[in-house]
Structure 1
Amino acid sequence: MLNHFRKAIGETLPWLSSMGADPTGGMTRLLYSPEWLETQQQFKKRMTESGFETRFDEVGNLYGRLTGTQFPDEVILSGSHIDTVVNGGNLDGQFGALAAWLAMRWLKETYGAPLRTVEAVAMAEEEGSRFPYVFWGSKNIFGLASPADVKNISDAHGINFVTAMNECGFTLPAAPLTPRQDIKAFVELHIEQGCVLETNGQAVGVVNAIVGQRRYTITLNGESNHAGTTPMRYRRDTVHAFSRICCESIAKANAHGDPLVLTFGKVEPQPNTVNVVPGKTVFTIDCRHTDQQALHAFTGELEADMRAICAEMNIGIDIDLWMDEAPVPMDATLVAQLTALCEKERLNYRLMHSGAGHDAQIFAPRVPTCMIFMPSIKGISHNPAESTSLDDLAEGVKTLALMLYQLAWKN
């Protein structure tokens, strides 16, 4: 089985990656771009040629279907998103869609038609790289996306979302789509985008949860003044305040320990010049944890600490919490089933959480969902250097195929 999947991946991954290949390296395949449309159309053609019934939904999610012989109205769905970040790698997202098709194709050729219907899905969008909206593909599957949310948004070149959609042959629905009720399970295969599996020499990750995220924009207001004539004791220096906040917060995060992570990702001091005390600094905070109560408690402490530091230093502070996403657990039954499968196959696996967001987090509150991770070399992702060994990719597709066999080909 592994040799079959090594060969299949070697034949299809370069083909799929050629559409949207970036001249500077890597891939750029943004929602409703010509490269995106070509990829979806060519992928549809390949799935059709292999005996799948194929269709696009209203927003461009692509499905390849094998109808079940006993339970045709019970759908086991697998896949991922087909879009990329700008100048990204060739695995994030698209490999999950490709793997679903390869696994189902092998199962059909080996065992015939499934008992339950299976569908491979290449979702239209997840990344939010072209337009300021994320999970457009998966949200539409469950009627969570409102046309009003995207009607007036544009990309960096001023191209309107609806215009781009129309140019690809799709029309913005007048109302949220009717949620699908036929999906009985969703399985997403994805590279880890981190270094845990590789560092521990493990081939497969069984994901038990996707972290919750809280994101902030913090604005510190002090006083800009001459760098030479303002004594240190009279300064209201916002970079000094930021540095204290950053160092003390990261020390607290280190003391808290895994799985909490804390990132200060963007810092903009103003006026940002060599000879002026910075009177204003704007920065971001990204905090993640698998437990919502722990996430809220930790960030609550951070907010209190920041206010205390600023009060001590006579600095004004504005705290804008603009993202507050709860952690999403995977389905316990599917996680147990996948774990048992790994044990039976004697796979070198790890039970772990996902520190990044995925389409699975949209599915999991609505249908039984699980995720399978494959190692990422050096933990690199969203980068042309993103890579996973062919052996690990094949092991991932094999694990996916065995899981789909249990869900759709067995009673």
Structure 2
Amino acid sequence: MSATPGVSARRLLDDLDALAAIGGRPDGGVDRVAGTAEDLRARRWLAEQMRARGLLSRTDDIGNVFGHTPNAAKRRLLVGSHTDTVPAGGRLDGAYGVIAALEVLTTLHEHGHPAADALEIVSFWDEEGAQPQSPGGMTGSTALCADPHLAEITGFVELHIEQGPRMELAGQELCVVDGIVGVDRHLIRAVGEPNHAGTTPFPLRKDAGRAMARAAAAAHDLMQSVSDTLVGNIGSFTLEPGAPNVIPGAAHLVLELRSPHEDALTRCAELILEHTRAIAAEEGCTVEHRMLSHKPVVAFDESMRTLVEKVCRSTGRPAGSLYSYAGHDAGVMSAHVPTAMVFVPSTRGVSHSPHEHTPDRLLTQGAQVLLETVIAHHDSH
């Protein structure tokens, strides 16, 4: 049996640098929001790189950039991620998965490996959803799943930085992702009575702002009491009418909850609502509630996860496992084709920041695991 080809660490890292320069900022971050001139230039650059390496490239109607060999098979494994960023984002989020996919296809094609013809790579359009007119991100992968081209895809693998601290804290260099957590968003509104803030004694107030502030202050402890797998946030808090001399007649917040367990999401929301209603009653207020959105828990394909785990074990690179607490294109794809996702650690857990970083050795190792996964998938099919 011929030796497994090895990715070029130098080319991988040089390509990451070249892509980061498109929309690059003086602080080391990247501004490449979907649809901007920098984003479009990056997509053109990617297509040019594919063609320069003897590959065929195309951009579909939504903006996804695809690449494959001239003799590509009719059905192919899809590998990739996204190259758009949030404002003042990092150089690795999404971009690493795309550049690693390019490196894998380039290496296999150079070596004449049969897995090259059974592989297609992609940079999805607008994963981040950072533009006001975006439908919420995952735009390109969602469009692909409604496109006839999906019938030519045998599966999807996405290599990505973790974007959190868990791998680094556990000393893990690779993780096979079990799935993506469910995400619920709730609008909770307290209704009291607006009145003059200077002339109304405290005992006579129905202060919706105070009621909601008390509820918000207790929310984190309530979240942690439900499950150690659950996290949440209150990132939006509004007082009505919002004047310094008017007691708030209403106040609302947006609560976001994330967990790999649907029952934990439900129990936590119920607990916080129960607590909020009790506080509101003490303050002479009532509570209104509306669920804004529900994204169910995603579990990745077991056979694909097992394939990646075997690749890691067979090469002496044992991988951990975890759920992703951030959304990814892999979550969209998993509803339609067998999907796997692989993480490398993020230094100090920092992401969506100019300080985003993963050591070069781990970036290269992740790309090599991706290559060997592509070969293993080809051999198993």
TM-score for both structures, normalised by structure 1: 0.85
Further displaced range: 324-333 or 283-292: 283-292
Q: Distance in 2 between matches of 1:138 and 1:290?
A: 22
Is the 2:7–2:368 Cα contact (8 Å) retained in structure 1?
no
Aligned twin of 1:36? 39
Aligned twin of 1:26? 29
Q: How does 1:171-186 map to 2 (within 5 A)?
A: 177-178=147-148, 180-186=150-156
> In structure 2, which of residues 131, 134, 140 is the aligned counterpart of residue 132 of structure 1?
134
Is the 1:74–1:116 Cα contact (8 Å) retained in structure 2?
no
Mind listing any 5+ residue stretches in structure 2 that lack a counterpart?
none
Q: SS at 2:67's partner residue?
A: strand
Q: Distance in 1 between matches of 2:380 and 2:334?
A: 23
Alpha-carbon distance change, 115 to 44 in structure 1, aligned in 2, over 3 angstroms? closer
Is the 1:20–1:35 Cα contact (8 Å) retained in structure 2?
yes
Alpha-carbon distance change, 399 to 296 in structure 1, aligned in 2, over 3 angstroms? same
Q: Partner amino acid for 2:173?
A: A
How much has 1:30 moved relative to structure 2? 2.1
Is the 1:86–1:129 Cα contact (8 Å) retained in structure 2?
yes
Percent same amino acid at aligned positions?
A: 31
Is the 1:223–1:279 Cα contact (8 Å) retained in structure 2?
yes
Q: Partner amino acid for 1:58?
A: D
Aligned twin of 1:359? 329
Aligned twin of 2:307? 337
How much has 1:196 moved relative to structure 2? 0.5
Q: Distance in 2 between matches of 1:112 and 1:102?
A: 14
> Deviation digits for residues 71-117 of structure 1, max 9, x if unmatched?
x2221000011211111111111111111011121222235232762
The count of residues paired between Structure 1 and Structure 2 equals: 376
Q: How does 1:12-411 map to 2 (within 5 A)?
A: 12-22=15-25, 25-66=28-69, 72-114=73-115, 117-130=118-131, 131-133=133-135, 134-143=137-146, 177-178=147-148, 180-272=150-242, 274-408=244-378, 411=381
Q: Distance in 2 between matches of 1:319 and 1:25?
A: 42
Is the 1:307–1:317 Cα contact (8 Å) retained in structure 2?
yes
Q: Distance in 2 between matches of 1:203 and 1:188?
A: 16
Q: SS at 1:229's partner residue?
A: coil
Q: Distance in 2 between matches of 1:409 and 1:54?
A: 25
Q: SS at 1:336's partner residue?
A: helix
> Deviation digits for residues 275-317 of structure 1, max 9, x if unmatched?
5433332211100111223322332333333333323432132
Q: Distance in 1 between matches of 2:5 and 2:379?
A: 20
Q: SS at 1:87's partner residue?
A: coil
TM-score for both structures, normalised by structure 2: 0.92
Is the 2:67–2:120 Cα contact (8 Å) retained in structure 1?
yes
Is the 1:116–1:409 Cα contact (8 Å) retained in structure 2?
no
Q: CA RMSD in A?
A: 2.2
Q: Distance in 2 between matches of 1:53 and 1:115?
A: 12
Mind listing any 5+ residue stretches in structure 1 that lack a counterpart?
144-176
Aligned twin of 1:170? none
> Deviation digits for residues 305-334 of structure 1, max 9, x if unmatched?
333332343213232311111011000111
Is the 2:64–2:124 Cα contact (8 Å) retained in structure 1?
yes
Further displaced range: 296-305 or 45-54: 296-305
Q: Distance in 2 between matches of 1:360 and 1:27?
A: 23
Further displaced range: 342-351 or 81-90: 342-351
